[in-house]
Chain A
Amino acid sequence: MQPSPSSAQTPPRANLAGWLYVSPLVLVLVPFFVAPILVVLAASFFATDGFGGLTPDFTLASYIDVLHSALTLKLYLATIKFTALTWVFTLIIGFFVAYFLVFHVRNQLLAIGLFLLCTVPFWTSNIIRMISWIPLLGKEGLINQALLALGVIRQPLEVLLFSDLAVVIAYVHQLTIFMIVPIFNSMARIDKKLIEAAIDAGASRFDIMRLIVVPMSKSGIALGTIFVVSIVMGDFFVVKVMSGGGSASVVSAFYEDVGVLQYPTAAASAVLLTLVLVAIVSLILRTVDIRQEITR
């Protein structure tokens, strides 16, 4: 149907077509995203009998519990520490890998090949990837053996595995790709002529990176940051496995709550974490216009 230019209103058929376009997404998002969140939100206000039974009620008791607990603050600090460290390392590695792929690999086929190579770790499951660190980092692991053999250390290093270090290593290993992809994407869109123009103006390699590449990859960096931050803050499994139970995160706390049937407290913690994440993400979005990146 031809839309008539004279009528300001959208013709009803076009309207219907619009709804049809979004319907697959709606069909996925409503049952699998919106509904569960509403259930959690509702549960956070319910009262409990302490044995898993919920009474529909409106009480802020769970929130008061969570907010009054000294553990909450400690867990948030621990989680933020993991998040910050992971972010710094994934950003540095991700930025330079993307920079190398975009600006130093002349052959496009090779660049795509190397790019795919970055995804190889994802061909196995998360659990296997974490277990694979044990022979490397463990007490009898490769690194300790090598250091012992070289005489650098006398006792095997215990800090390598089942420690905060191991947690960060595992996160960085898992999440660097989430930095590489968006940064690669925004870097690949930088016109190579801009780099030439900068060279023409006398810019050094470092100047070009500092004044052209970094500012123009900002939206990719922001997108990668959102991925990394929200995944680390929403995770408990890596912390649990790689720290050997020695550390915990915000999510591990409400995972424990669910284990002991404290559903409303768990729900309240979840809602709180969601709010914190929404605040962080909106802060990131305020610094860069991501829509521009997506629509460009």
Chain B
Amino acid sequence: MKSDRGDIELAGVCKSFDGITNVVDGVNLKIADGAYCCFIGPSGCGKTTILRMIAGHEDPTAGEIVIGGQNVVGLAPVQRRTAMMFQSYALFPHLTVRENIAFALRVRGQSKTDRLRAADAMIEKVRLTQFADRLPAQLSGGQQQRVALARAAITEPRVLLLDEPLSALDEQLRVQMRQELRRMQRELGITFIHVTHTQLEAIALADLVVVMEQGKIKQAGAARDVYAHPHDRYVAEFMGGQNVLSGRVEKVNGASFTLAQAAPDGIEVPLQARSTVKVGDKVDIAVRRDDVELVRPGRELPTGCTTSLPSRVLAIEYQGYFVKVMLDTVPDDEFVAYVPEKTFFADPFTVGDVVMATWATGSALPLA
């Protein structure tokens, strides 16, 4: 309890339940004080285990967890000054909203009047005053979530850990509660660590997005960075919004290289500082789905586009402000174009049409 800072550092953290496979495998990460950090990955990737290790409900097999400059491995959650909001909330079913929220103060030995006053203040903060005397079962999903948040926040933790906090809610409520989480985080000014498997949730909320696969961090960075500049095929596919193509490097010429593909002239890709490619290398590239433009064959390509891939329209989905057009551009991978609604309906395609898929050359991104 020496420090109020909620910055977290994970150093070489490993966790193995059976002594053979590492569920969490050498994770290194720094999370700034007061940041909103989202761990994202498919189920079983170790994100919840990391959260539980930070919370103190699981001990790492190896490595250090440092909160506010202090190694907390082996300490109880109370000593770490962390609080956890559990998946499906784990509210005490036999206690009222007020008693649930005051629980942590009760076991800390606060007097009844003190703890109920504090609980009522917190109840007001999460706008549940009229439900204070109800049991959790008499509340809606969104209200239960707010109770869980209030119960976790009442101890004034320096880190709040949220395990898939929105997964039990329906779509509309999820968007609403997402904003509420962000609002609470700003109000409390503490570090939030949020585990989710929904990339939309992660990029909408987080200052720091951490993409995980099989116990390892694949990429960590600002939401926009991770979404727009994925390191590799896995991150690109997991975060979505990207078309991933692969092929062999045909020639390297100065600031760009050409990828051999179904297209007659290959695909021209700008060479980025970090990537060094040689002729013959197998390379993955990503092209944002909303960067893809569709042109009828024979028409002139928009300026800046040097690559065009002949494709057949497989399916069309209307999505409101854009239209999702699925194409057979590349044989094995999905290839999708998000066409703005107005552009699409100015000259609508139908399934089976042949189109040229093209994009500004600069927007193609080589992946690691």
Contacts and interface: CB of A to CB of B under 8 A. Distances in A.
A193 B76 contact: no
Interface string B53-96: 00111000000000000000000111000111011101111100
What's the dominant secondary structure at chain A's contact region? helix
Given A201-B107, A201-B151, A211-B106, A196 B78 contact: no
Interface in B131-156: 151-152, 155
A193 B90 contact: yes
Contacts of A211: 103, 106-107
A216 interface: yes
A193 B107 CA distance: 17
B108 interface: yes
A197 B90 CA distance: 7
A42 B56 CA distance: 67
Given A193-B86, A193-B88, A196-B86, A201 B94 contact: no
Contact of A216 (B88, B93, B104, B152): B93
A18 to B, nearest CB: 29
B55 A202 contact: no
B57 to A, nearest CB: 6
Contacts of B78: 201-202
A200 B107 contact: no
A194 B90 contact: yes
A216 B94 contact: yes
Contacts of A49: none
Contacts of B151: 197, 201
Contacts of B155: 201-202
B94 A196 contact: no
Interface string B92-112: 111000000001101110000
Given A193-B88, A196-B86, A197-B86, A202 B108 contact: yes
A202 B86 contact: no
Contacts, number: 57
A199 B92 contact: no
Contacts of A198: 92, 103, 107
B107 A197 contact: no
Given A196-B86, A197-B86, A202 B94 contact: no
Contacts of B152: 200
Contacts of A207: 107
A215 B90 contact: no
A201 B92 CA distance: 12
Nearest to A194: B90
Contacts of B82: 200
Nearest to B152: A200
Nearest to A215: B94
A199 B76 contact: yes
Contacts of A200: 55-57, 77, 82-84, 152
B150 to A, nearest CB: 12
Contacts of A194: 90, 92-93
A207 B106 CA distance: 9
Interface string A187-218: 00001011011111111100100011001100
Contacts of B76: 199, 202
Interface in B14-45: none
Contacts of A215: 94
A220 B152 CA distance: 30
Most chain B beta-carbon contacts within 10 A, residue among A199, A202, A203, A216: A202
Interface in A60-97: none
Contacts of A204: 107
Interface string B139-175: 0000000000001100100000000000000000000
A197 B104 CA distance: 10
Nearest to A190: B93
Most buried by B among A191, A201, A207, A212: A201
Contacts of B57: 196, 199-200
Given A194-B90, A201-B103, 4 more contacts: A196-B57, A199-B57, A199-B76, A200-B82
Q: Give 6 closest A-B pairs by Cβ, nearest first.
A: A201-B104, A202-B78, A193-B90, A197-B90, A203-B107, A207-B107
Interface of B: 55-57, 76-78, 82-84, 86-88, 90-94, 103-104, 106-108, 151-152, 155
